[in-house]
Structure 1
Amino acid sequence: MKRVLRLGHSRALLLGLAILLSISIAALLANWLYPADPFDIVGRANQWPGSNPRYPLGTDMLGRDLTAGMLHAARVSLLVGVGAAALSVLIGTTVGVVSGYTGGWLDDCLMRLTELFQTMPSFLFAILLVVILQPSIASIVFAIGITSWPQISRLVRAEALRVRQQDFVSAALTMGIRHPAIIWRHILPNSISPVIVATSILIAQAILTEASLSFLGLGDPSVISWGSMVGAGRSSLRTAWYMTAIPGGAIFVAVMGFMYLGNGLNDLLNPRTESR
């Protein structure tokens, strides 16, 4: 009940939810509002925002509608962010809970593997993977997800080590319950709270990484994303800065939305704030 009351008083959480809900609605309405291909040339090039009611955000250097591009790009950026974060959470949670619960040599091996991934520059590793696998949405999601799981792994391992010492786990072992069942019923549910908070941060990081890859020309050429729009507009930065400012602003707002969401969830789920 206290958490529900805090939910209504958490400005960060409510602001994050409002931002992300607005972006999600815009992404869902993209096909309905602009059913045509966002790469289509629809008018005169370099029309500034507000100069033509048909194109509220103007057109780019080729005459493509920036409003249509922004809405369609929201779907791609959110898809990459959520997909990469889901892959990271899946790998990191699996490694962390197994490592923290079993201990011993398996814990040592899994932690050395985690440290190996942490020592590699994640962005450069992601670039290498995308180049090897060829730029596509699937390869970008895989590259970002496979380089982001170590932080989740360490979080879950620390929680699993704590939960493993609890009396209910000892009682389950005494009753002869199998280890996979104990992990699924007791260790994992009691170790997941920090992961929920970290996931929102991971999504924000994944959106930024995808934007950086697209800016470097390593995005999926068959779809449009905010990062690719920023990259396409850099050639006209001095004469038509709005082409980079608008998608860049969208990236900033989306990332801030996830950061606010993470901060709000931390206040909601952190047991140290329970008595406040």
Structure 2
Amino acid sequence: MHVSRKQRWGWLRSSTAATVSFVFIVLLVLVALVGPFVLPDDPAAISRQALHPPSPDALFGTDHLGRDQLTRMVYGARISLLVGVLAAGMAIVVGIAVGACAGFFGGIVDIALMRMSEFFQVIPTLIVAVAIVALIGPGLGNIIGVIALLSWPQTARVTRAEVLRVKQLDYVNAVRCLGHREILVLLREVIPNSLPAVMPLIALGVAEAILQESSISFLGLGSPDTISWGLLLHDGQQNLLSAWWMVVIPGLAIFATVLSLNILGDAVSTALNPRLRLTGRVRRKVVTP
């Protein structure tokens, strides 16, 4: 079933959850980019009373050292989003490369790459990530690399399935008949036309990377000089009963961001796949009395 780009965008705009999630993510990105230039406080400055609850003077309160939590939340958003985008981007690139080679060339290449993908899928990701970061050090680059290393298999499997479908289409066979080399057919025809199936995984990958980084930092393995939402959770756990805002506010930020990204990923997947929309309409018709 062919669906035009206009119809897809129209369906996305008609989805209230997707619209709200998109607006939230856009506002979050704007706050992360512009906020540090607007807020007067230094995130490391001890300028107020320690453990001061939220008030008009300090909207998000202060931490155990007297640092403004609103400023630290804004700076933390920059790091959390940066980790999410870079780690997800690296994982997507690796996953597309592995999945495309496996699906296009088949045979022993397919078997070897898919067995490697299955190995990474069955290992406990968080435990392995924590172990690797503990061994190599808590630098931001190390955390991004570890998250990307452990996050590519899902993209690889989705890409492989789509490449298996695309490489058998008539226009791909027509390009082969013109004498183009197989590698050019893969790079120019198969991979570009397989990307729509991978696009929903971008938002999901960013959400997963944010969760992974927050978990690593919460366990105390993040860099103490790099402010992220996970580090704020780590700082707040020791004062949970006396300063609830130190845990609740970063936790809500992580929850809202991950939820919004998952809703966006699901909405994009549904918009790109008309069968999912039709299935949803049929279910609603069946359930409606």
Q: What displacement does 1:35 show?
A: 5.3
Q: 2:155 aligns with which of 147, 152, 156?
A: 152
**Aligned residues between the structures:** 274
Structure 1 residue runs of 4 or more that deviate by more than 6 Å after TM superposition? none
* Larger displacement relative to structure 2 (93-102 or 6-15): 6-15
Q: Indicate if the aligned counterparts of 2:207 and 2:261 stay in contact, CA closer than 8 A.
A: yes
For 2:41 and 2:145, how far apart are their aligned partners in 1?
Answer: 29
Residue 20 of structure 1 is matched in structure 2 by: 25
Q: Deviations over 1:135-193 (max 9, x none)?
A: 11111110111001001100000000111111111111121111221112211122112
For 2:260 and 2:190, how far apart are their aligned partners in 1?
Answer: 30
Q: Indicate if the aligned counterparts of 2:117 and 2:156 stay in contact, CA closer than 8 A.
A: yes
Residue 42 of structure 2 is matched in structure 1 by: 37
Residue 210 of structure 2 is matched in structure 1 by: 207
- The amino acid of 2:117's aligned partner reads T
Residue 79 of structure 1 is matched in structure 2 by: 82
For 2:134 and 2:42, how far apart are their aligned partners in 1?
Answer: 26
Q: 1:228 aligns with which of 210, 226, 231?
A: 231
Residue 9 of structure 2 is matched in structure 1 by: 4
Q: Deviations over 1:239-266 (max 9, x none)?
A: 1111100111110111111012112211
Partner secondary structure for residue 192 of structure 2? coil
Residue 113 of structure 1 is matched in structure 2 by: 116
For 1:42 and 1:30, how far apart are their aligned partners in 2?
Answer: 18
For 1:254 and 1:131, how far apart are their aligned partners in 2?
Answer: 27
Q: Indicate if the aligned counterparts of 1:3 and 1:274 stay in contact, CA closer than 8 A.
A: no
Q: Deviations over 1:79-137 (max 9, x none)?
A: 01111100110110000001100001111111111112122211112112212221111
* Larger displacement relative to structure 2 (192-201 or 66-75): 192-201
Residue 255 of structure 2 is matched in structure 1 by: 252
**1:116–1:273 CA distance, 2 compared to 1 (3 A):** closer
For 1:37 and 1:227, how far apart are their aligned partners in 2?
Answer: 19
1:178-217 alignment to 2 at 5 Å?
Answer: 178-217=181-220
Q: What displacement does 1:210 show?
A: 0.6
Partner secondary structure for residue 36 of structure 2? helix
Q: Indicate if the aligned counterparts of 1:2 and 1:274 stay in contact, CA closer than 8 A.
A: no
Residue 102 of structure 1 is matched in structure 2 by: 105
- The amino acid of 1:141's aligned partner reads I
Q: Indicate if the aligned counterparts of 1:15 and 1:260 stay in contact, CA closer than 8 A.
A: no
- The amino acid of 2:59's aligned partner reads P
- The amino acid of 2:103's aligned partner reads G
For 1:3 and 1:21, how far apart are their aligned partners in 2?
Answer: 20
Q: Which runs of 5+ in 1 are unaligned?
A: none
Q: Indicate if the aligned counterparts of 2:43 and 2:68 stay in contact, CA closer than 8 A.
A: yes
1:260-271 alignment to 2 at 5 Å?
Answer: 260-271=263-274
Q: Deviations over 1:50-74 (max 9, x none)?
A: 1xx3311111111000000000000
Q: What displacement does 1:36 show?
A: 4.6
Q: 2:176 aligns with which of 173, 176, 185?
A: 173
- The amino acid of 1:60's aligned partner reads D
- The amino acid of 1:31's aligned partner reads P
**1:129–1:9 CA distance, 2 compared to 1 (3 A):** same
- The amino acid of 1:211's aligned partner reads S
For 2:277 and 2:234, how far apart are their aligned partners in 1?
Answer: 45
For 2:207 and 2:277, how far apart are their aligned partners in 1?
Answer: 27
* Larger displacement relative to structure 2 (2-11 or 173-182): 2-11
Q: What displacement does 1:30 show?
A: 2.5
Task: Please provide the CA RMSD for this pair.
Answer: 1.4
For 1:184 and 1:221, how far apart are their aligned partners in 2?
Answer: 42
For 2:243 and 2:10, how far apart are their aligned partners in 1?
Answer: 47
Q: Which runs of 5+ in 2 are unaligned?
A: 1-5, 282-289
Residue 126 of structure 2 is matched in structure 1 by: 123
Q: Indicate if the aligned counterparts of 2:95 and 2:154 stay in contact, CA closer than 8 A.
A: yes
